[in-house]
Structure 1
Amino acid sequence: MTLLLRRWLIAGLLVWLPLGVTLLVIRFVVGLLDTSLLLIPPAFRPEIPGLGVLLSIVLVLGTGAIAANYVGKRFVLWTEALFARIPLVRTVYGGMKKLAETIFSDQSVSFRQPILIEYPRKGIWSVAFLTGSPIGEVQDKTADHVLTCFVPTTPNPTSGFIVLVPEKDVIRLKMSVEEAMRLVISLGVVTPERTDPPADPPPPTP
């Protein structure tokens, strides 16, 4: 009877845990996007759940359409020049702009390549993501050509460590970014399928 109850408990948790976490994430994202309704005066603000999501999408697309034309580009440049004169704002805004440009660039490989590196020491392997190739002083003061790698923490991949690893020591994985993220978030329980057939076992020693 105890084994049966334990089996039912595990089966129930396997159903509700992923579902509950998914619902919480969706609720958080929808609630965050719903804050765009604050732009509408309270007297005209409709009480429709999820309307802020649609409004946020419209705002982002509209901003992109304006910023893509000549007048919009000039306004964006003027705004950036204004922000560059404010000490704290220029640091935050400049860093976030550079990060967004790097991630969303068509030529960027940031977070699009799962890799395997020996971290935190030789002989211990960690799943990481290639974020770029450093230039300037960082590269000039290293003997080898290094790559910037992000090692996410488990089970929260939004935090982690930045390490500079020689390119010759980086193993590029064939798994997708989504598969690598599932591996990290699940504490290694959810592993992707093999992309290559397993190697033949070594012959027995006589």
Structure 2
Amino acid sequence: MMPAPGGRHHHTVGARIRNYFLTGVVVAGPLAITAYLVWWVINLVDGWVKPLVPPAYLPDTYLPFSIPGFGLIIAFLGLTLLGFLTASLVGRSLLRFGEHVLDRMPVVRGLYKGVKQVFETLFSQSGTSFRKVGLVQFPAPGMWSIVFISTPPSGDLAARMPEAGGYQSVFLPCTPNPTTGFFFYVPRRDVIEVPLSVDEAAKLIMSAGLIQPGEQQKRLQALADAARKAQAADAA
């Protein structure tokens, strides 16, 4: 029995439409999400900073519409000026005085020191925290998990650990939210470094292994090639 004359043509048109649609999703999806996150951050900072600025200095007071990002600019200039002043002798003296006052507050003291240490570690230009990715056997021998390698223990903590060729602190993120997980010390000899960037490892964890390193670009290229082949077939 001969197939219907338009059957194959209909299947080809449907495949082309599907390829076009998937290519559009792959291209527009990341752009839309990035734009949404940027817009959310701008509005969040504006909501924090604008109420602190006198209305006479806000351009929104003289314009019939609101200017997004003005609060973000003020925050950037303010933080830059704060860093400049802190680098001076007077600024360092005021900073030490403020920390001395906070050091006398039982609850606030621990909170401030902990948050300060986290910020200093994350934004340190010479630090090595979370710049390497490794593998450890967790939760059982023979089962490997991705970890972010942090700094080794020091001080009294390192002195009280049993000798095992040195220890390394690692953070094991959870799927699909890599901001939560487990932090523990493991013998350095049991950590296997892998040639992955932190971004690639985070994508692998958040996608539960669906997005392999370098695979996202390959998928996008494959969809683009399919769309080009379909256009060439139409032209022929």
TM range (shorter): 0.7 to 0.9
Matched, 1:173 2:185: no
> Counterparts of 1:86-97 in structure 2 under 5 Å?
86-97=105-116
Partner of 1:84: 103
Larger deviation, residues 74-83 vs 44-53: 44-53
Matched, 1:155 2:176: yes
Among candidates 157, 164, 189, match of residue 210 of structure 2: 189
Cα distance, 1:64 vs structure 2:
0.6
> Counterparts of 1:88-167 in structure 2 under 5 Å?
88-139=107-158, 140-144=160-164, 145-167=166-188
- Supply the distance in 2 between the matched residues of 1:161 and 1:6 (Cα, whole angstroms): 42
> TM-score, normalised on structure 2?
0.72
- Supply the distance in 1 between the matched residues of 2:200 and 2:175 (Cα, whole angstroms): 14
Q: Which amino acid aligns with 2:58?
A: R
Q: Which has the higher contact order (CA 8 A, sep 6+)?
A: 2
RMSD of aligned C-alpha atoms? 2.5
Q: Which has the larger radius of gyration?
A: 2
Q: Which amino acid aligns with 2:33?
A: V
Unaligned segments of structure 1, at least 5 residues: 195-206
Partner of 1:68: 87
- Supply the distance in 1 between the matched residues of 2:173 and 2:39 (Cα, whole angstroms): 24
Cα distance, 1:11 vs structure 2:
4.4
Aligned residues: 194
- Supply the distance in 1 between the matched residues of 2:37 and 2:176 (Cα, whole angstroms): 15
Deviations 1:11-51 (A, max 9, x none): 45434442332223212221222222222023432331111
What SS does the corresponding residue of 1:190 show, helix, strand or coil?
A: coil
Residue 43 of structure 2 contacts residue 68 of structure 2 at CA under 8 Å; is this kept in 1?
no
- Supply the distance in 2 between the matched residues of 1:154 and 1:46 (Cα, whole angstroms): 44
Partner of 2:58: 45
Matched, 1:56 2:56: no
Deviations 1:132-174 (A, max 9, x none): 1112443313342221111122222222211211100111122
Q: Which amino acid aligns with 2:26?
A: L
- Supply the distance in 1 between the matched residues of 2:185 and 2:179 (Cα, whole angstroms): 19
- Supply the distance in 2 between the matched residues of 1:109 and 1:143 (Cα, whole angstroms): 23
Q: Which amino acid aligns with 1:24?
A: Y
- Supply the distance in 2 between the matched residues of 1:91 and 1:186 (Cα, whole angstroms): 36
> TM-score, normalised on structure 1?
0.81
Partner of 1:29: 41
What SS does the corresponding residue of 2:26 show, helix, strand or coil?
A: helix
- Supply the distance in 2 between the matched residues of 1:11 and 1:168 (Cα, whole angstroms): 45
Q: Which amino acid aligns with 2:38?
A: I
Aligned-residue sequence identity (percent) comes to 35
What SS does the corresponding residue of 1:122 show, helix, strand or coil?
A: coil
Higher helix share: 2
- Supply the distance in 2 between the matched residues of 1:138 and 1:120 (Cα, whole angstroms): 24
Cα distance, 1:9 vs structure 2:
5.8
Structure 1 residue ranges, 4+ long, deviating more than 6 angstroms after superposition: none
- Supply the distance in 2 between the matched residues of 1:67 and 1:45 (Cα, whole angstroms): 27
